[in-house]
A and B are shown apart, each in its own frame.
Chain A
Amino acid sequence: MDKNIFEDRILAYLDGSMDFKERKEFEDLLNHNDSYKSLVNDIKNNISLMKKAEPLKVSKNFEERLQLRIESLSFSNDGKKSFFSSYPRQWIFSGLSVFGILVLTFLFFQPNSNLIVVDENIQNEQKNIIDSPSKNSNDEQIKELDQLDNFNGSFVNDKK
């Protein structure tokens, strides 16, 4: 068996995830190749040594230093956090956005808002400009409208 293929299969062998046939083949190979066998044994030994290893410990004042660092933060010392820290940031931003939209809606769409009054004033001014060109033309328009009314009235009477 190629060395690379053999090495790739070591993990499966040590995990016990090979089926019976694969395992048998692999063990036959180990029994016929000393360098392969020695490598697998070394790995096995290393793993068992690592499992026996005594874990390192942090220094004795570790927790004190941690506490000092926590106390130096802006959070309160009794473990309860400030208002903003107890909510995810996206909640705060969504809340502020909704509030902003409500404020803008209130400003632009309330019936007595100054903006609408200004708008009405502009409309009135425009109307005055349209209406003002000459008094004569107004009188003529009124006459034309009267004539039209009379004509419609006679049309209705004719039908009757």
Chain B
Amino acid sequence: MTQSLLNSSLKSSAMNNPFKLSDEKLVARFVNGDINAYKELVKRYKDKLFNFVMRYFNNREQAEDVVQETLIKLYTHAHYYKDIAQFSTWIYTIAKNNALTELRKNKAKKSDSMWTDDGKFIDIASSEIPLDEKVQNEIAVEKLNKYLLELPENFRIAVYLRDFEEHSYEEISMILEIPIGTIKSRINRGRIMLAEKLKSYKE
């Protein structure tokens, strides 16, 4: 009896614990006035969205601004969310639209964070200090990131969503509002371009 009471109280506490709830349930709670649900959604998505938006800008400040705009939109427009699509797809679509709007505004501005003042590519891997495998992996990823940024936007975002974020083709298609066939083609082309860029860099 005591055991079952304990179990039920554990179950109810799990139900009340926002960490255990799905994104969709959290949105529903937030729409009903639960601000903690909103805070939990912010915790879950701030870094994910930041990584995503960074693929548009490669500028921390701008990317954070866009993520903030996205999360403010979630705050003010959560009631527009319909359970038809996954919450993640919905919020990524908002982030994408915000990023594109911001890009249009700053079209003239050029991100230069991966270039030296005299226009040379910053090559961390050329360091002569011996590195362990983890660090080497990190450098490889960083290099990959940098070459990814050199790809045209259409290919870059599709590859990022698939290979970094591991979204399904359907989700990517919904986020970018492009047919699945086109998404697959862009991912494939983007991967090939990236591999060729890295290869030519190594040579």
The interface of chain A, by Cβ under 8 A from chain B, is 7-8, 10-11, 38-39, 42-43, 46-47, 49-59, 62-63, 65-66, 69-70, 73, 75, 78-81, 85-88
If the complex has contacts A58-B46, A59-B64, are A70 and B72 also in contact, measured as CB distance less than 8 A? yes
If the complex has contacts A54-B138, A58-B64, A62-B64, are A46 and B47 also in contact, measured as CB distance less than 8 A? no
Chain B residue numbers with a CB within 8 Å of A50 are: 141, 144, 163-164
User: In the complex, are the beta carbons of A66 and B72 less than 8 A apart?
Assistant: yes
User: In the complex, are the beta carbons of A53 and B47 less than 8 A apart?
Assistant: no
Chain B residue numbers with a CB within 8 Å of A59 are: 60, 64
> Which of A50, A56, A59, A81 has its CB near the most chain B CB atoms (within 10 A)?
A50
Q: Describe B's contact surface by its main secondary structure.
A: helix
The interface of chain B, by Cβ under 8 A from chain A, is 30, 33-35, 38, 42, 46-48, 50-51, 54, 60, 64, 67-68, 71-72, 75-76, 79-80, 137-138, 140-141, 144-145, 163-164, 166, 184-185, 187-189, 191-192, 194-196, 198-199
Chain B residue numbers with a CB within 8 Å of A66 are: 42, 68, 71-72
User: In the complex, are the beta carbons of A49 and B141 less than 8 A apart?
Assistant: yes
Chain A residue numbers with a CB within 8 Å of B79 are: 86-88
**Further pairs besides A39-B195, A53-B141, A78-B35: 6, Cβ < 8 Å:** A39-B196, A46-B195, A49-B141, A56-B54, A57-B50, A63-B46
A-B contacts, 11 of them at CB < 8 A, read: A7-B192, A10-B192, A11-B191, A46-B163, A55-B48, A55-B51, A57-B50, A58-B67, A59-B60, A69-B68, A79-B35
If the complex has contacts A53-B145, A70-B72, A73-B72, are A46 and B46 also in contact, measured as CB distance less than 8 A? no
Give the CA-CA distance A51 to B75 in the complex, in Å. 31
